Chain A
Amino acid sequence: MTKSELIANLAARFPQLVLKDAELAVKAILDSMSDNLATGERIEIRGFGSFSLNYRPPRLGRNPKTGSKVQVPEKHVPHFKAGKELRERVDLVV
């Protein structure tokens, strides 16, 4: 499912709204989630999951081409942990 399919599905659920409303809603939700994560804030959606940042300490890496050592700086990467309902529903059909 892509973003435009998600928008179309949502618009179909709300017959009183026009497609543009669903489009603005999806954009507003995703922008807000990105803004929060980008500033290091957590997101917690009950039944879906939580987003947070994971810290990766600086390490000594290697350039795979030349084999020379390079210092890889510390970084923060977005992390998602599925919530109970999502975990259970996704696991049901294997």
Chain B
Amino acid sequence: MTLTKADLAELLFDQVGLNKREAKDMVEAFFEEIRTALEKGDSVKLSGFGNFELRKKSERPGRNPKTGEEIPITARRVVTFHASQKLKSRVEETYGGASA
């Protein structure tokens, strides 16, 4: 099952004891704080989970895959996420050893 904001709010209600309203607002505020930091150009480092960083991409040539027409992909700033070593090894523990 995919984890959503509703699931996280439920968790804050159950585990942290926030009321329903606070739990919902807290989840919203959590992601809004991260968006705001990134928007300001600040990277976000959440130890044990991972880092959100910003990368500047310069303009590069692209094409419309449907028509084949060449159009430049404009310069932009994008967010990248790097999982912490801890999160990566937890994922590996789940899938490690399962040979294809």
Contacting pair B29 A13 (CB below 8 A): yes
Write out the residue numbers on chain A whose beta carbons fall within 8 Å of the beta carbon of B76.
Answer: 91, 94
Bound Cα distance from A11 to B17, whole angstroms: 15
Write out the residue numbers on chain B whose beta carbons fall within 8 Å of the beta carbon of A39.
Answer: 94
Out of A22, A34, A78, A86, name the residue touching B48 (CB < 8 Å). A34
Interface residue SS majority, chain A: mixed
B50 nearest CB across to chain A (Å): 7
Q: What count of chain A residues pass the 8 Å CB interface test? A: 57
User: How does the 8 Å CB contact mask read for B33-47 relative to A, with 1 for contact and 0 for none?
Assistant: 111011101111111
User: How does the 8 Å CB contact mask read for A54-94 relative to B, with 1 for contact and 0 for none?
Assistant: 00011000000000000001111111101001110111111
Q: What count of chain B residues pass the 8 Å CB interface test? A: 59
Contacting pair B25 A14 (CB below 8 A): yes
B-contacting residues of A (Cβ < 8 Å)? 1-3, 6, 9-10, 13-14, 16-17, 21-22, 24-26, 28-30, 32-34, 36-49, 51, 53, 57-58, 73-80, 82, 85-87, 89-94
A-contacting residues of B (Cβ < 8 Å)? 1-5, 7-8, 11-12, 15-18, 22, 25-27, 29-31, 33-35, 37-39, 41-50, 52, 54, 56, 75-81, 83, 86-88, 90-96, 99-100
